[in-house]
Structure 1
C-alpha cells in the first residue's frame, strides 16, 4: 500500500528523514566538540598539569569526516537497507572510528613527548633528539596495529598476512641490515645515553661537541670547526670519552731538576710542590714524590685534583703552579733540567795513547 504526502511517497520521506538525522547528528557532534574543547581549554589555562592540555589537543583532533560518518550511520538506521549494504556501512563506520583513534593516539603521543622534551630540556639535552626517535617508533607501531585491525574488520585473514609480513620482513631486514643496525643503535643511544647533545666527547682521535643524534647518524662539531658525521653503529663500536660528565680532573705533571743539587734541596722539593699546589683555591693536593733518575734530570712527579671539570680553569691553575715553581726554585737555587750530555775523558798513559 503506497502513501503519498505532499506529492512524495514514503521512500522519499524516509530518505529525507535519514538525511535530516545525519545532519542533526553531525551538527550536534560538531557543536559538542566546540563547547567541550572551549571549556576544557579555559580550564586547562588555569592549571599546571599537562593532562588537560593533552586532552584539549586530542579532542581538537577529532576530524569532521568522522563525525559525518557517525551522522550518516545514525540516519541509515531509519532506512530499510539490504543486509549487505548495512554490513558494509557498519564496517566503514568502524574503520572511521579506528582511524580516528589512530589520530587521537598520534596527537597524544606527540603531546606527551613534547611535554617530556620541554620538562627535561634543561637537565637532559638528549630529549631534543631522543623524543623524535621514540615518537617515530610509537606512531609507526600505532598505525600498523590500526591498519591490521581495519583489515580484520573487513574480513581479511590477517593471520596469513602477518605471517607473510614476517617472512617479507626477514628478507627486507637482511637487505637493509646496516640501516636497521644504525636505527637500533640510535635507540640504544636514546635509552642508555652514553652522551647527549652538547657533550664534549672524543671518539678515537676525533674530539668535538655533539650537535645532533639522528636515527642513522650522529654529528659532532670538531675542534677545527668542521662537522664530523658518524654512523650510529660505528660510533657505539668505538671507545667514547665523555668529558662533560667529569666531576673533577686528576692532573699528573713531572718536573725535572739538575743533578747538581744538594740532598737538603732534593728533600725540600716535595714540600715546595705541596705548598704551591695547596695555595691554589680550586686544587686539592694528592702527592709529590722524587720519582726517578732521568737521563739528564732528577724527576719529581706531582698529582693534584682540580675541583671542576672546566679545562680553562685547569690550565689557569697549572700556569700559576709553573710560575710559582719558577720563582721558588730561583729563590732556593734549584735549577731546572734540560737535555744535556756530559762526556768524561779518561787520561791514559803515553804508550796507550800512542797505540793504534
Structure 2
C-alpha cells in the first residue's frame, strides 16, 4: 500500500529524516571539534581574540543546528511552492537570530574583558562601558529584527521612517542627558583623564573620584566634592598633572636696596647652592631680574624630578629655609615694603622727608 504524506511517500520522509539527523549531527560534531582545537590553540597564545572566538562559537544554540538540519532534509521533499518559500524564510530568520546571539555574546564578553583589565586603573569605567555595551547590543538586535521582517516581506521603510522620527523626538527631549551620556563614552574611550588623576578645571583643583554616565566628581584640595556634568567638563580646558614627568618651579625673592654690590653678586650663587642641595630638584637658572619699587628682585627657576605636589612643596620649603639661614649669615636683608613721603611747607619753602 502506498502511503503518502503531504504528497511525499514514506521512503522520501525516511530519507528526509535521515538527512535531518545526519546534518544536525555533522554540525554539532564539526563545531565541537573546531571549538576544542581553537581552545587548545588559544591557551598557547597571549591574545584575547582567539579566546573570544571560542566563546562566540560556543554560544551556538543546539536548536539552530537542528533547524538547519531540518531545512536541509526538507530539500529532499516535494513541497508546495509557498511552503518551500516559507521554510526558506524561516531558515534565514533562524540564521539571523543565531548571528545576533553570536554578536551579543561577543560584545558582552569583550566588554567584560575590558572592564576586568581596566578595573585596577579606572574602576569607574565599568558604568560607562556597561552603557556602551547596552547601546551596541540594542542596535544589533534592532538591526536583526528589521532584517527578519524584511525577509518575510514586511515593508520596513515606513517602520524605519517612524523610528527615525521617534528617535529625533526622543533625542530632542533628552538632549542634555544624551549629551552627558556620549560625553561619558568619550571620556572612557579617549581617556583625557582617569580616576585618581589630579586635574585643574577652570579654578577647581582636585583628584578625579568618579566618572559616571551623567556626571564626573572631583575631590578638591579643600576636601569637598565638586560635581561636573560630563558635557560641561569636556567643554572646559582641563589640565592633567598625572602624566607630568617633572614640575617646573619659578620663585622670586626681594632684597633691600641697601644691599652692597658684593652681596648682590653673591646672591645668584647662594640661590644655586640652595636648589642644588635638594636631591629632588634640578637647577636651571637664577638672575637679578629687575629693580622693583622698594626692592631688588631675583628670579630662580628649577625643576622638581617628580610631579607630586607634596614633594614640590617640601623642596620649596627646604629652599626657603636654606635661603633664610644663608642670608642671615651673609647679612643680606629681605626687602620690606617701604614708601617715601615728602611734606612741603609753602610758607618757608622747606621740604620735609619721612
Q: Tell me the TM-score normalised to structure 2 length.
A: 0.80
Range moving further from structure 2, 117-126 or 202-211: 117-126
Verify the 8 A CA contact 1:182 1:215 in the aligned structure 2: yes
Cα separation, 2, equivalents of 1:97 and 1:194: 41
**Structure 2: runs of 5+ lacking an equivalent:** none
Deviation readout 1:192-245 (Å, 9 max, x if unpaired): 432233321122333332244344332334445554432211111222121112
2:319 aligns to what? 321
CA, structure 1 residues 179+349, in 2 after alignment: closer, same or farther (shift >3 Å)? closer
Instruction: Report the counterpart of residue 174 of structure 1 in structure 2.
Output: 172
Q: 1:34 to 1:231 in 2, by over 3 A?
A: same
Q: Which residue of 2 aligns with 1:65?
A: 63
Match 1:266 to one of 245, 264, 267: 264
Match of 2:54 in 1: 56
Contact 1:116–1:127, Cα closer than 8 Å, also in 2 = no
Q: Distance in 2 between matches of 1:13 and 1:140?
A: 46
Indicate conservation of the 8 Å contact 2:125/2:211, yes or no.
no
**Residues 277-292 of structure 1 aligned to structure 2 (within 5 Å):** 277-292=275-290
The answer (yes or no) to whether the contact 2:17–2:73 under 8 Å persists in 1 is yes
Shift of 1:339: 5.3
Check conservation: 2:20, 2:70, Cα contact below 8 A.
yes
Q: 1:12 to 1:217 in 2, by over 3 A?
A: farther
Decide whether the 8 Å contact of 1:23 with 1:71 is kept in 2.
yes
- The alpha-carbon deviation at position 60 of structure 1 amounts to 0.8
RMSD: 3.8
User: How far apart in 2 are the matches of 1:103 and 1:222?
Assistant: 45
- Give deviations 1:280-315, integer Å, cap 9, x for gaps: 333232333344555654443322222321212212
Q: Distance in 2 between matches of 1:126 and 1:135?
A: 15
CA offsets, 1:146-171, max 9 Å, x none? 22211211112233333333233222
Change (3 A) 1:217 1:90: farther
- Structure 2 distance, partners of 1:319, 1:184, is 44
Give the distance between the partners of 1:254 and 1:310, measured in 2 at CA.
22
**CA displacement at 1:96 relative to structure 2:** 1.3
Tell me, yes or no, if structure 1 residue 100 matches structure 2 residue 98.
yes
Counterpart of 2:2?
A: 3
User: Shift in Å at residue 343 of structure 1?
Assistant: 7.5
Question: C-alpha displacement at 1:112, in angstroms?
Answer: 4.6
Is the counterpart of residue 230 in structure 1 residue 232 in structure 2? no
Contact 2:259 2:332 survives alignment (8 Å): yes
Q: Distance in 2 between matches of 1:181 and 1:206?
A: 22
Q: Give secondary structure in 1 for the equivalent of 2:298.
A: strand
Q: Kindly indicate whether residue 329 of structure 2 is the aligned counterpart of residue 331 of structure 1.
A: yes
1:321-355 alpha-carbon deviations (Å, 9 max, x no partner): 112111111110123345567878899999x9xxx
Q: Where do residues 1-356 of structure 1 align in structure 2 (5 Å cutoff)? A: 2-3=1-2, 22-23=20-21, 25-112=23-110, 132=130, 135-292=133-290, 297-338=295-336
Q: Secondary structure at the match of 2:216?
A: strand
**Counterparts in 2 of 1:225 and 1:262: CA distance versus 1, 3 Å:** closer
The change in CA–CA distance for 1:95 and 1:324 in structure 2 (over 3 A counts) is same
Q: 1:119: how far off?
A: 6.7
SS at match of 2:163: helix
SS state at 1:303 partner: strand
Task: Tell me how far 1:62 sits from its aligned partner.
Answer: 0.6
